[in-house]
Structure 1
Amino acid sequence: MHKIPTELLDAQGALTPEAVIGVVGAGAMGAGITQVAAAYGHQVLLYDAAEGAAQQGIDKTAQGLSKLVAKGKLSQADADQLCGRIQAVNTLADFAPVDLVIEAIVENLEIKQKVFAELESLCRPHTLLTSNTSSISITSIAAPLAQPQRFAGLHFFNPAPIMKLVEVISGLATAPEVAQCLYATAKAWGKQSVYASSTPGFIVNRVARPFYAESLRLLEEGAASVATLDALMRDAGGFRMGPFELMDLIGHDVNYAVTSSVFSAYYQDPRFKPSLIQKALVEGGRLGRKSGQGFYAYTETAGALVHAQAKQAVNYATAAPAPSEILLEGNLGPAQALITRSQAAGIPMHQRANAGRTQDGLLRIGDACVALTDGRMASERAVVEGISQLVVLDLALDYAKTTHLAIAAADSTSETAVTQVVGWLQALGIQVSVMEDTPALVVMRTLAMLANEAADAVLQGVCNPQDADIAMQNGVNYPRGPLAWAQEVGLARIYQVLAHLQASYAEDRYRPALLLRRKAYSGGVFYE
Structure 2
Amino acid sequence: MADAHALALDRAVVVIGAGTMGAGIAEVAAVAGHRVYLCDTSEAALDRGRAQIRASLDRRVAKGKASAEDAASAFARVIAAGPSAPLQGVGLVIEAIVENLDIKVAALTEMARRVDDDAILSTNTSSLSVTALAARLPAPERVAGLHFFNPATILPLVEVVRGHATDPALVETLVATARAWKKTPVVCQSTPGFIVNRVARPFYGEALRLLLEQQATPETVDAVMRECGGFRMGPCELMDLIGHDVNFAVTRSVWQAFFHDPRYQPSLVQQQLVDAGWLGRKSGRGFYDYRDDAPRPDVRDLQGPAPAKVRIEGALGPAQVLVALLEQAGLNVEKTEGAGLLRVDGVALALTDGRSAGARSQALGEPVVLFDLALDYAASKRIALSAAEGTPADVIAQAAGLFTALGKQVSLLGDAAGLAVSRTVAMLVNEAADAVQQGIASEADIDAAMTGGVNYPIGPLAWGRRVGLDYVAAVLTHLSQGYGEDHYRVSPWLQARAHEVSHG
Structure 2 Cα separation of the partners of residues 337 and 222 of structure 1 = 31
The question of whether the paired residues in 1 share the 8 Å contact of 2:42 and 2:82 is answered with: no
2:290 corresponds in structure 1 to 298
1:364 corresponds in structure 2 to 343
> Secondary structure, in 3 states, of the residue corresponding to 2:320?
helix
Which amino acid in 1 is paired with 2:495? R
Structure 2 Cα separation of the partners of residues 427 and 415 of structure 1 = 18
> Secondary structure, in 3 states, of the residue corresponding to 1:480?
coil
The question of whether the paired residues in 2 share the 8 Å contact of 1:288 and 1:296 is answered with: yes
Q: How many residue pairs get matched?
A: 502
Structure 2 Cα separation of the partners of residues 440 and 94 of structure 1 = 59
Structure 1 Cα separation of the partners of residues 477 and 68 of structure 2 = 58
The question of whether the paired residues in 1 share the 8 Å contact of 2:307 and 2:345 is answered with: yes
> Secondary structure, in 3 states, of the residue corresponding to 2:301?
coil
Which of 283, 308, 322 aligns to 1:338? It is 322
> Secondary structure, in 3 states, of the residue corresponding to 2:133?
helix
Q: What percentage of residue pairs aligned between the two structures are identical?
A: 50
> Secondary structure, in 3 states, of the residue corresponding to 2:370?
strand
The question of whether the paired residues in 2 share the 8 Å contact of 1:296 and 1:309 is answered with: no
Structure 2 Cα separation of the partners of residues 467 and 524 of structure 1 = 23
Q: Which runs of 5+ in 1 are unaligned?
A: 301-306
> Secondary structure, in 3 states, of the residue corresponding to 2:38?
strand
Tell me if 1:443 matches 2:421.
yes
Which amino acid in 1 is paired with 2:370? V
Which of 387, 401, 411 aligns to 1:423? It is 401
Structure 2 Cα separation of the partners of residues 491 and 412 of structure 1 = 33
Structure 2 Cα separation of the partners of residues 277 and 413 of structure 1 = 28
Which amino acid in 2 is paired with 1:252? H
Which of 392, 399, 403 aligns to 1:414? It is 392
Which amino acid in 2 is paired with 1:218? L
Which amino acid in 2 is paired with 1:127? A
Range moving further from structure 2, 326-335 or 433-442: 326-335
Cα distance, 1:94 vs structure 2: 2.8
1:350 corresponds in structure 2 to 334
Distance 1:37 1:92, change over 3 A: farther
The question of whether the paired residues in 2 share the 8 Å contact of 1:235 and 1:402 is answered with: yes
Which of 230, 249, 257 aligns to 1:257? It is 249
Q: Deviations over 1:167-201 (max 9, x none)?
A: 00011110000011001100111111111000111
Structure 2 Cα separation of the partners of residues 480 and 432 of structure 1 = 23
> Secondary structure, in 3 states, of the residue corresponding to 2:209?
helix
Structure 2 Cα separation of the partners of residues 378 and 277 of structure 1 = 25
Tell me if 1:315 matches 2:300.
yes
Structure 1 Cα separation of the partners of residues 138 and 385 of structure 2 = 59
1:304 corresponds in structure 2 to none
Cα distance, 1:144 vs structure 2: 1.9
Which of 362, 376, 400 aligns to 1:383? It is 362
Tell me if 1:488 matches 2:480.
no
> Secondary structure, in 3 states, of the residue corresponding to 1:94?
coil
Q: Deviations over 1:108-155 (max 9, x none)?
A: 011111111112222211100000000000011111222110100000
Tell me if 1:213 matches 2:197.
no
Cα distance, 1:92 vs structure 2: 5.8
Structure 1 Cα separation of the partners of residues 416 and 473 of structure 2 = 18
Which amino acid in 2 is paired with 1:418? I
Cα distance, 1:435 vs structure 2: 0.8
Structure 1 Cα separation of the partners of residues 43 and 489 of structure 2 = 51
Cα distance, 1:220 vs structure 2: 0.8
Structure 1 Cα separation of the partners of residues 424 and 327 of structure 2 = 30
- The TM-score, its normalising length taken from structure 2, stands at 0.97
Which amino acid in 1 is paired with 2:415? D
Which amino acid in 1 is paired with 2:305? P
Which amino acid in 2 is paired with 1:335? A
1:303 corresponds in structure 2 to none
Q: Which runs of 5+ in 2 are unaligned?
A: none
Tell me if 1:514 matches 2:492.
yes
Q: Deviations over 1:262-285 (max 9, x none)?
A: 011111111111111111111111
> Secondary structure, in 3 states, of the residue corresponding to 2:43?
coil
The question of whether the paired residues in 1 share the 8 Å contact of 2:130 and 2:162 is answered with: yes
Q: Deviations over 1:390-429 (max 9, x none)?
A: 0111000001111100011123532222111111110100
